[in-house]
Structure 1
Amino acid sequence: MKKHHALQLYDYHVWANNKFFERLKELPQDIYDREIQSVFSSIAETLVHIYMTDTIWLGVMRENSMDEIQASIIEAQEKTKNRELEKMEVLFADLSKKYQDFFHNEGDLDKEICPEHPQFGRLETHLSELVQHVVNHGTYHRGNLTAMIRQQGYSSVPTDYVFYLYEINSAE
């Protein structure tokens, strides 16, 4: 049976994040926390933002209450306080496992879901569209990371979706 497209997109999201962790570990350690003029003040802050946002959206997909989502934000803020690269890599891996478990247990990625936001109101959408949002958000900020790495004089890593497709197709 063919994998649901939303699952493949999420696998791409994890693959692309891992490519960045691999690249960042190859670079001088000081570029990770160095303050620069960009969308975020550092590469570390960008990774924290991606992690925090992915945490929030998992709660939304699980149809958690706003109180539960707020509690997950506070917990994620505590976990990301020191922002060390290796710790962030572990946090991302743990969070992707939670997503995978959720997807496995959910079964219907095309089901309707209606999250309520205190400012934006009710959204009628599908679970697969929220997965697409998480992936798009990550892709946008990986573009920021690429710019931040280049701004500091180093090459980044290609994480276009097509490169992911080539890699998984060559592994089959």
Structure 2
Amino acid sequence: MKTIQKMYEHLNWANQRIFETLQSIEDDNHEVWRLFSHILNAEKIWITRLCGRDSSQLPIWSEAEIEICAELVKQNEECFTAFFTNLANTDLDKIISYTNSKGREFKYSVWDILTHVALHGQYHRGQINSRLRAVGIEPVNIDFITFVR
């Protein structure tokens, strides 16, 4: 449980660092904002599913607006923090059933979902950094080891 919680502390830290960097750059790179919005939308979808609510109408890809991203960064952190507050080690094996936006039903353990969300975001934050470097902007250091320092 401590490991997964630490992963989410890192996730929240990394999201905040990416957001602050994207806000500060003058280059209005639509694809970078779209990727960041996707990370945040996916987090919202997964926490909705973990809480037993219907996520099928939530967008996975949407137009990225700074204000919406700012709200999702805050909201997702609060929701996952609350979720972890009430989560016991034995809950990690609990199976979550959900229906995706295409109407297909899936079942995964809480552990698998939490691991997926953490890795999914890191993958896309890497894509964001790659795109930043391509336009001459220093990538954001979101390495886990930097976080634990």
Q: TM-score range by the shorter chain?
A: 0.7 to 0.9
> Could you say if the C-alpha distance between residues 22 and 110 of structure 1 is closer, same or farther in structure 2, counting changes exceeding 3 Å?
same
Percent identity over the alignment is 21
Deviation digits for residues 55-83 of structure 1 (CA, Å, limit 9, x no counterpart): 1111221233xxx2124x05x87xx65x3
- Three-state SS of the structure 1 residue aligned to 2:40 is helix
1:31 aligned partner, one-letter code: D
Question: Equivalences for 1:3-152 in 2 at 5 Å?
Answer: 4-28=2-26, 30-33=27-30, 42-64=31-53, 68-71=54-57, 73=58, 81=63, 83-108=64-89, 109-117=91-99, 118-119=103-104, 121-125=105-109, 127-152=110-135
Runs of 4+ in 1 over 2 A off after TM superposition: 30-33, 83-87, 105-111, 114-119, 121-125
Give the structure-2-normalised TM-score. Answer: 0.83
CA contact (8 A) 2:50 2:96 kept: no
Give the structure-1-normalised TM-score. Answer: 0.73
Q: Unmatched 5+ residue regions in structure 2? A: none
- Three-state SS of the structure 1 residue aligned to 2:29 is helix
Q: CA deviation at 1:86?
A: 4.2
Residues paired across the two proteins, number: 145
Q: CA deviation at 1:17?
A: 0.8
Partners of 1:94 and 1:114 lie apart in 2 by 22
